[in-house]
Amino acid sequence: MALYKLIRPLAFALDAETAHRAAVKALSFAPQLPMPAFPPILSQIVAGLRFASPVGLAAGFDKDAEVPDAMLRLGFGFVEIGTVTPKPQAGNPQPRLFRLKEDRAVINSMGFNSQGQAAALARLKRRRRIGIVGVNIGANKDSPDRIEDYAAGVRAMAPVADYLTINISSPNTPGLRQLQDEGALRSLLSAVQGARTEGGPPIFLKVAPDLGEHEPDQIVRIAIQHGMDAIIIANTTISRPPLLSKYRGEGGGLSGDPLKSLALGALRRFRAASGGAIPLIGVGGIATADDAWERIRAGASLVQLYSAMVYEGPGIARRIADGLVERLNRAGMSSIAEAVGSG
């Protein structure tokens, strides 16, 4: 944290996307750190995978699988790369990434900028399988058949992924969130189910926080019927809090502190809808051990973060993990799994 405080003013002097690219490039050349050893109390099995720590890196930081191992070595219990699309695409016009320092938030309208599945696949094939690395899959903006894009992504990326995430919740690809509607979701998940192979990785579904009253029940029901292994709640929001400091007129998804209460509320609704029948992963506005603990007690088996790292540095994952150990010990619990849904 002390080192990051020194370099953060330099990073913030650059526009947000340039700083992000510089960070990924620097990590790709950084010396290899040893893999962190987490206390056994943080270990649990979710969707058939053993997670050494419940604190993961959300998709969006390492879009093209350039530095997953570097992020694992910095203290994340798991890393999700992507979103990866079948074909390379540039994404939306720049500027498309904005820091809201006063709000400790980020707005992005990236639009699934991706080097394509082939590039990510080649990098992931070269890595030694250390730690858990998931692959977040999306559809190309100009695709004539987005459902087939997801099925193709499952077939292509399954051999190199510890888990796959079906991302239908980004607000930055026109019409993508319509795949959360009941009929479209059934068609999509049927195609995904058909693309799976026996012994392949578990598949998670990532949803938006901006859902109607009955949508969590509907999504949970369809996800379970089609064999999804977990639900990630939630992606960025298209809503704008009234006291947002600036950039409120920019399109795209808002993340960071202003998303916290909305994402927590969505998680609670999905927990109520599922009754623990499917694992949930909490994302959105998580910046402290208290935030992660609250999400876990509300029903999340795992948590992910990204925007908070912009303000706190990559050491945030290990600090949150250490904080969770303290809270488990105070609660007299012997495993993080005992805390899931205990609130």
Residue 111 is assigned to a ligand binding site: yes
Residue 125 is assigned to a ligand binding site: no
Can you give the C-alpha Rg of the chain in angstroms?
18
Dihedral sign, CA of 232, 38, 307, 116? negative
Residue 256 is assigned to a ligand binding site: yes
Do the beta carbons of residue 234 and residue 207 sit within 8 Å?
A: yes
Residues annotated as part of the active site:
170
What are the angstrom distances between the C-alpha of 19 and each of 57, 83, 90, 149?
Answer: 18, 19, 18, 30
Give the residue from 297, 287, 283, 340 showing the smallest Cα distance to 317.
287
Strand order in the sheet with 253-256: 97-100, 105-108, 253-256
Residue 12 is assigned to a ligand binding site: no
Residue 341 is assigned to a ligand binding site: no
Residue 234 is assigned to a ligand binding site: yes
Find where tokens 């309208």 sit: 109
Residue 62 is assigned to a ligand binding site: yes
Residue 236 is assigned to a ligand binding site: yes
Question: How many other CB atoms are found less than 10 A from the CB of residue 197?
Answer: 10
Residue 235 is assigned to a ligand binding site: yes
Binding region: 59-63, 83, 108-112, 136, 167, 172, 206, 234-236, 256, 285, 306-307
Binding region for FMN: 59-63, 83, 136, 167, 206, 234, 256, 285, 306-307
Binding region for substrate: 63, 108-112, 167, 172, 235-236
